[in-house]
Each structure stands twice: as C-alpha cells, then as structure tokens.
Amino acid sequence: MDIFIQQVVSGLATGGIYASVALALVMIYQATDVVNFAQGEMAMFATYICWSLLNAGVPYWGAFLATLGIAFAGGVVIERVVIRPVENAPILSIVIVTLGLLVICNSLAGWIWTYVQKPFPSPFPSTPFKVGEIILGAHDLGQIGITLLVLLCIYLFFRFTPLGLAMRAAAQNPLSSRLVGIRVGWMLALGWGLAAVFGAVAGMMVAPILTLEPNLMGGVQIYAFAAATLGGFTSPGGAVLGGFIVGVVENLVGTYVGFIGTELKFTVALAMIIVVLLVRPTGLFGSSLVKRV
C-alpha cells in the first residue's frame, strides 16, 4: 500500500509535466487547429537557456523567471515569423513546418550545447518527506505544487482578465472577434507565447530527473500527446486531467505489470493514443465538431 501511494504521488508529479505540455498543445490546437509537433523541443531549448543563465551565476528563481520571459518572447516570434505565412495553408503544410521547427530546435541545441548530458539543479531540497511509512520526494511535491500554481494562474488569467477573454474569443470565433476590434493575429501569437511558457515550466521541472540533453522531451512529448488525446484536444481542463491520469497510469503500469517495465514506455503511450482514438476519438471531455459538407 505504501509503495502504491508513493507511486501514485510520483505519477502525479510526472503527470503534472505531461499536463503542462498537453495544455500547451491544446491551447495552440484550439486557437489554430494545429498540433505543434515542436512543443517539446521548444521546451527543451528553453531549459537549455535556463541552464546557461544558471551557469552564468544567476540565482535559480531569477533564471527561472527570466527563462519564462524568454520562452514567451520566443513563442510569439515563432508564431509571427514561421507559422504566420502558412496560417491558411493545408494542414499537411503546417504539420511539416512544425516538424521543421522540431528538427531545427533539436539540432541547434546539439550545436550550441553539445549532446553531452548535463545535470540540472532542482530548486527543492533533496531530503524526502516522511508521512508515517510513506516516503515522498521533495522534488515530486514541489513539481506538483508548481504545476498547480501555473494552472491556477492561467485559469484566473483566462477567466477574469479582458485580455484572456479576448484570446478566448479569438480562438472561438475569429471573424466576429475581428469585427468587435480584437486583433486576432496578435491573440494567436500570445497563445503561442503562453504555450511556450508552459512548455518551459515542464522542461525545467523534468530536467533534474532526466538530466538535460537535446532529446530530453521526446518521451514527455509523446505522453503529452497521449494526455491531450485522452482528455480531448478541444478541452483544456480535460487535457490537464488527462496528463495526471496518464502520469499515474504510466507509473503504476511500470511498477506492477512485470513485462512492460520502463523498456516499453513509448509503446505504452502509443497504445494509449491508438486505443483512445479508436474508442472515443474526441477524448473524454472533447466535443466533436459537426461539419457541413
């Protein structure tokens, strides 16, 4: 039972990371109908920037916040410069452009920082907490806390600020939003910026566990896909919940199902994606779009 609870908690911790990336994917999907295949790699790149800042002697939280700012600016610039020209192109073109971004981010990171694995510090103490017989890692708990904090902020932002409202409107009905004076193009760019921020948070939280390298986010990204698919690409709340579910399931399956272990991690995610798509393509909380033909 103790092991079970420990596994659930660490599952929730990794689930928080999947939830952040899944939320980033869903935000972009809702606004522009595009799945950003480069989301994970952009997050990895941001994590490297944080590493460089830390190496230059910036204190952790200063570097953390600075990285979020840089990631936001980077996301906005990428939308404006790279995605904008293909905004109205067929889906295949946009997917290919995001794949191009993926390989560019990955190879640039390898170019600048080499492919050698680098240790990444955790802001949380390394001594674990003990609650009765149960041992909980401080980083796990901190990670859950940070994720929840970010989610709370974003909820408040979208729910209670005029800018959040404008962004939701632009995603939901671009034409009418433009008519009431919302600058839809810039709202989309802001969406990309925010998505990059979520990714950066996830990257900086997961790097202490996996150690930093250019392929840091490959596994996270496929699980985030699984989370977003499970929760539904049209539902931000669903994607977050999906992230936590996927994280817990991954951990429990790894612990209790002997033949899978950690060796078939990606295959588990692949199986989840395919099963969800076959059984309920809209995900748990997604709504299907009725199209007129």
Partner 1 sequence: MSSRLARNVGILALLVLAGALPFMLSNFRLFQFTQVYIYAIAILGLNMLTGYNGQFSLGHGAFYAVGAYVSAIMMDRWNVPYGWTIPVAGVLCLVVGFLFGLPALRLEGLYLALATFSLALAVPQILKYFEHWTGGSQGIVLTKPGAPFGLPLNPDQWLYLITLAVLVLLFWLGANLLRGRVGRAIVAIRDNHIAAEAMGVNSALYKSLVFGVSAAYTGVAGALSASVIAFVAPDSFNVFLSVTLLIGSVIGGLASISGAIYGALFIQFVPNWAQDISKAAPWAIFGVFLIVFMYVMPFGIAGAIRLLWIRMTRSRVSQEGRSAVPSQAHTTT
- Where does this chain bind partner 1 (CB under 8 A)? 33-35, 37, 82, 85-86, 89, 91-93, 95-97, 99-104, 106-108, 110-111, 115, 218, 222, 225-226, 229, 263-267, 269-270, 273-274, 277-278, 281, 293
Tokens of 101: 């971004």
3-state secondary structure of 257: coil
Residue 222, classified by CB atoms within 10 Å of its CB into exposed (0-12), middle (13-18) or buried (19+), is: buried
CB-wise, 188 or 230, nearer to partner 1?
Answer: 230
Q: How far is the CB of 221 from partner 1 (least distance, A)?
A: 8
CA nearest neighbour of 18 among 247, 200, 267: 247
Q: Whole-number minimum distance, CB 121 to partner 1, in Å?
A: 25
For tokens 């830390």, the residue is: 54
The CB-of-261 to partner 1 minimum distance in angstroms stands at 9
Q: How many CA atoms lie within 13 A of 219 on its CB side?
A: 19
* CB-nearer residue toward partner 1: 91 or 152: 91
Pairing type for strands 134-136 and 129-131 reads antiparallel
Q: Residue 226: which residues within 8 A CB-CB, separation 6 or more?
A: 18, 242, 246, 269, 272, 273, 276
Cβ proximity to partner 1, 106 vs 177, nearer residue: 106
Closest CB to partner 1 among residues 256, 266: 266
* Pick 8 or 260: Cβ nearer partner 1: 260
Q: Closest separation between CB of residue 35 and partner 1, Å?
A: 5
Residue 59 Cβ vs partner 1, minimum distance, rounded to whole Å = 31
